[in-house]
Amino acid sequence: MKISDIKNTSLLEQFNEPGHWFTSFPSLNHWKEDFTHKEYKPFFREFIKTQKPLHLYAHIPFCAKLCSYCICNIVITNDRQKIQFFLDHLLKEIDNLKAFYEKEGIAPNIREIHFGGGTPSHLDREQFESLCGRIRALAGDEPLREIAMEIDPRTIDEGDLAFYADTGVTRISFGIQDFDARVQKAINREQPFEMVKNIMRERHHFKGVNFDLLYGLPLQTRATIRNTLEQVKELAPDRITLLKYCHAPELRRHMKLINISDLPSPDELPVMFLDIAQELVDAGYVWVGLDHFCKPTDSLATGPLVRTFNGFKPGPVKDMIGLGPTSTHSIGNCYAQNHYDLNNYYNAVNRGEFPIERGYVLSAEDELRREAIFSLLCSRDLSVAARFLLRNACKVFDNLDIAPEHLKIAQKSITRRAVLA
């Protein structure tokens, strides 16, 4: 079935209703707050004995300005001392991790690194170089598959991209969201197209560039999105991550700055998504997973696909450890998240602990759920596990606190995926 066929049938009306959103599994609301450093430590010890490769994510929570759409864990500051105080603790967390490996007599098998936030590019050059050096000392001498970094175009100066490349960064991601000036003003993220165009002249330093785009933003229309996509295609990023804006002022008070009457209607959102998907596919991009697009030669399109809490990535590295506040860990059947509150994070690091706030250990049935959900997310195909899930949906979902009407939606969604695959 083609994208245009979906827009011209009753499928949109049929499936455009609330339901569970399994972009990752297990859902964070099921994680246990009595799962802390003490519970995580033995899982991590046993995992590293396997010597399976790891993806390391480092969260830098600071931003120079507040974007009113943002749902991430961020701190708005330009106080360099405050940022340095955080960095000192992040470096100590790395040292604690290195000491744990050394005590166990095991060499870390870290193969990929991702700097996210917040705004990693809000660190000055000396701070970023210090962080990279400490992580490289942890990772050892083995060559890394990738070092990726999220960048706010408004925070970098001439020569910064060359500097990041010199420190080992191989892939960068820009938070574009939208190029329309009215939309940018409404979300407090004004970065003109020409600014990004000038920066993209330095893309040759990296093996790949990603653009983050959002749909469902205030003052967006199908027409304004088409104009943004024309500009995106002109700059031709290697990857595009397309996400829906989640308006949740009850969770993020700054979202109250957005006029709710300026938001597209719920009925417009799936059509917007399909418009964008069609435009990108017609431009030669490959639709990967649910919400990623890439050039046909990109590793996302050519190799096995893995879903983590940071999104889709090329395989084969599936397991991840996190550094910094709110970062997540997924090792084998164990999931954990670092402290959200900076003071709690600092205190745990100073005690020499893994700064874990909550976690979750998959049961045998959970592992079946994960395989089924990820097979749909990554390949839009029904694996053996997914077919079992469809046949035994009531039993498999009975511990997930899903209302009957949502279970019905989940069953319909699986059936729909089978049709579209």
Domain ranges of the chain: 1-26+364-421, 28-363
Q: What is the pLDDT of residues 138-151, one digit of tens each?
A: 999 888 999 999 99
Among residues 329, 395, 376, 380, the alpha carbon closest in space to that of 356 is found at 329
* 417 or 319, higher pLDDT: 319
Torsion of CA 100, 106, 111, 115, to 10 degrees: 10
pLDDT over 90 (residue 72): no
Dist CA 382 CA 178 (whole Å): 34
Range from 47-51, 177-181, 357-361, 405-409 carrying the lowest mean pLDDT: 405-409
Residue 396's pLDDT band, with cuts at 50, 70 and 90, is very low
Range from 106-110, 313-317, 359-363, 401-405 carrying the lowest mean pLDDT: 401-405
Q: Which two tokens stand for residue 411?
A: 């069953």
Q: What is the pLDDT of residues 154-191, one digit of tens each?
A: 989 889 999 999 999 999 999 999 999 999 999 999 99
Q: Which two tokens stand for residue 137?
A: 């000392």
- What are residue 261's phi and psi, to 5 degrees? -70, -15
Among residues 202, 266, 260, 193, the alpha carbon closest in space to that of 228 is found at 193
pLDDT recorded at residue 400: 46
Domain 28-363 classification at class level: alpha beta
- Residue matched to tokens 């397991």: 319
Among residues 49, 42, 100, 84, the alpha carbon closest in space to that of 352 is found at 100
Torsion of CA 226, 255, 84, 28, to 10 degrees: -90
Residue 282's pLDDT band, with cuts at 50, 70 and 90, is very high
pTM: 0.88
